[in-house]
Amino acid sequence: MAIAEQMGEVLRQTAWSANIKERLDYSCALFDAEGALVANAPHVPVHLGSMGESVRAVIERFGHEVAPGQAFLLNNPFQGGTHLPDLTVVSPYFGSHTSQAIAPDQAQAPLFWVASRAHHADIGGLTPGSMPPNSRHIDQEGVLIDAMRIVDQGHMDQAALVAKLTSGSHPVRQLHQNLADLSAQLAANHRGLHELDRMLEQFGRERVLSATEQVQANASEQVRRVIDRLSDGQWTKQLDNGARIQVAVKVDHAPQRLHRLQRQQPTTGRQLQCTGGHYSSLCAVCAALSDPSRHPAQRWLLGAD
């Protein structure tokens, strides 16, 4: 958790925009080799419950191409993103951040991943701020970024990054600010990799990996205890735009799993919808709020992830 907190402090201090420096709309976390959450700082719940999907999207997209000294960028809501202004930077850790120059064919699979997500002031779209109230297609909200490599062998591919941010019919309005904030996110990830180096040097690889498994197992057990206390239920909320949210919860106590959070209302045709990332975050928050012993947030997010 301290690693994620230090990442967040680096991001806050080096970012350009007020969204990050003052409004603190950012999150940092550490993930295992498969993209499952290990620890997070107490940042934004909707980020923390969904970033694991973004890490796994990078793993699925690049697979064995991932090498030391690389970093990846994405904001696609269907790759674990939330809304388009939330840009996620993901970096692999191979066991020694100081050996990032080794050849890709000599690298093993990453031991961990670090990720930072930050709300950029603008990512394009119909209106400044990239949350137009009248949008009917995701392209109208700004630049949509599928998982892409933005750093290779320690060097940022600024040409590819600029080309992406200025593409489409509604490109970014303040390119220099986007680049500055992305540099801050890369700095935050760099701090995370450096602190992982220190941790493995102090405790050893096997001990760190064993502790990771124990934390994840404890998280799963805590979530199962919460589910044991739950019962089936339904809930309805009428929104001011006429839409209605209806949720039915079915609890399966045998494997101790929460099933069928069902949205019984079809999509509204408006700009606000619930993606898989939002759903994962909602499950994590519900588990956290149901815990009377108030365990650290990252443990609940682990189990929900």
Which domain, by its residues, includes 113?
Answer: 2-216
In a domain, 42, yes or no: yes
Q: What Å distances lie between residue 93 and 51, 98, 192, 206, 216, CA to CA?
A: 16, 10, 9, 15, 19
pLDDT digits (tens, 9 = 90+) for 258-272: 555 555 456 666 666
Is a pLDDT exceeding 50 seen at residue 28? Answer: yes
What tokens appear for 38 in the block? Answer: 């290990």
pLDDT digits (tens, 9 = 90+) for 66-101: 999 999 999 999 898 888 999 999 999 998 765 444
Q: For residue 50, give the DSSP letter.
A: T
In a domain, 25, yes or no: yes
In a domain, 296, yes or no: no
Q: In the chain, which ranges are continuous DSSP H helix?
A: 2-14, 18-21, 45-48, 51-62, 158-165, 175-203, 205-228, 276-289, 297-304
Average pLDDT, rounded, for the chain = 84
Q: What are phi and psi of 289, to 5 degrees?
A: -70, -20
In a domain, 266, yes or no: no
Is a pLDDT exceeding 90 seen at residue 136? Answer: no
Instruction: Report how far residue 303's alpha carbon sits from residue 50's, in angstroms, rounded to the nearest whole number.
Output: 13
Q: In 169-296, which ranges are continuous DSSP H helix?
A: 175-203, 205-228, 276-289
- The pLDDT assigned to 166 comes to 96
Residue 139 — very low, low, confident or very high, per pLDDT cuts 50/70/90?
confident
What tokens appear for 53 in the block? Answer: 């999907």
Residue 257 — very low, low, confident or very high, per pLDDT cuts 50/70/90?
low
pLDDT digits (tens, 9 = 90+) for 150-204: 999 999 999 999 999 999 899 999 999 999 999 999 999 999 999 999 999 999 9
pLDDT digits (tens, 9 = 90+) for 200-234: 999 999 999 999 998 888 877 777 777 788 788 88
In a domain, 224, yes or no: no
In a domain, 234, yes or no: no
Q: How many domains does the chain have?
A: 1
In a domain, 22, yes or no: yes
In a domain, 242, yes or no: no
